[in-house]
Amino acid sequence: MWLWRGTEPMLSASSGVERLLAPRHGSGVCRRCLNLTAEATGLCRACRAGEHHLAAILPISYSVGGEWLHHLIASYKRDADPWVPDAITTLARICEAFLSAHEPCVASAAGVERFQLVTTVPSGDPRRDSHHPLRRIVGDLVAPTRDRHERLLVRTPTPAIPRHFDAARYRATQPLRGEAVLLIDDMWTSGASAQSAAAALLDAGAGKVAAIVIARHLNRGWDRNDLRLRRLARDGFDFASCVVCSGEDAGLTTKPAAAQRGGDGLSSLRR
Ligand SMILES: [Zn+2]
Ligand SMILES: [Zn+2]
């Protein structure tokens, strides 16, 4: 069953989804953020260096610098780019397909039954944040999140040091009362923005905070990334499984109910 409303065509391989790269746990993969590392086990350098406030992190796809998903995420925020409407639509469809199938997976990994609230990480640029298209995607276009979406965070005037955790970078727009919050962001590089956002939500009274990020950034030229990314591309991307429910890491968690039922029927998107 495809959950996109209206008369929009189904998300097909030609939409670019065939270029998504599914993160999976395993040797040489950061157990927290799924970064590819040179070490067999443990955390990547960024995760070792920064503070950690997210109960779970679930990237939909790797994004390789200069390649399709990287360009898509760069362009959907540029108002003047004629490709913006297509980019927003494609990203909304990716989010909808993934969230429909795997929100229970991230809830399970975070140790919560469900997320009462959904919000996005504010843009680093306050001018852009006033009309950020990710909020439109999560709060309007994507059915599984639109009724729970709230703008819970704003950027503070604190100058941001790129890729550095700072609990003062964001502040919550309202006090929270223990609600579990699903945080959605478009790109994860060091994770400093999402971890800083999680810290602000927890400080405001949130229960657990977990993140789904559309794209976990990688550079193809680093270490053995090219070889490893080629292998992932050969395996293909399938909306019916994610890093939690794929079963490729037996120690991570038990499969949530949605996954045990075989996802939400999006296996037609398999390639
Ligand atoms: Zn990491
Ligand atoms: Zn899953």
Is the confidence at residue 238, as pLDDT, over 70? yes
pTM of the model: 0.86
Q: Compute, in angstroms, the gap from residue 164 CA to the centroid of ligand 2.
A: 30
Q: Compute, in angstroms, the gap from residue 60 CA to the centroid of ligand 1.
A: 15
**Residue 255: band (very low, low, confident or very high) from pLDDT cuts 50, 70, 90:** very low
Ligand nearest to the CA of 262: 2
Give pLDDT tens digits for 112-147. Answer: 999 999 999 998 776 777 788 999 999 999 999 999
Query: What is the pLDDT at residue 50?
Result: 87
Q: 108: helix, coil or strand?
A: helix
Q: Compute, in angstroms, the gap from residue 101 CA to the centroid of ligand 2.
A: 6
Residues 6+ apart with CB under 8 A from 13: 269, 271
Closest listed residue to residue 93, CA positions, set 189, 152, 6, 188: 6
Q: Compute, in angstroms, the gap from residue 142 CA to the centroid of ligand 2.
A: 18
Give the chain's mean pLDDT: 85
**Residue 249: band (very low, low, confident or very high) from pLDDT cuts 50, 70, 90:** low
Which of the pair, 268 or 53, is modelled with greater confidence? 53
Ligand nearest to the CA of 54: 1
Residues 6+ apart with CB under 8 A from 95: 60, 137, 138, 141, 142, 145, 184, 212, 214
| CA–CA separation, 120 and 111 (whole Å) | 20
Query: What is the pLDDT at residue 159?
Result: 81
Q: Compute, in angstroms, the gap from residue 105 CA to the centroid of ligand 2.
A: 5
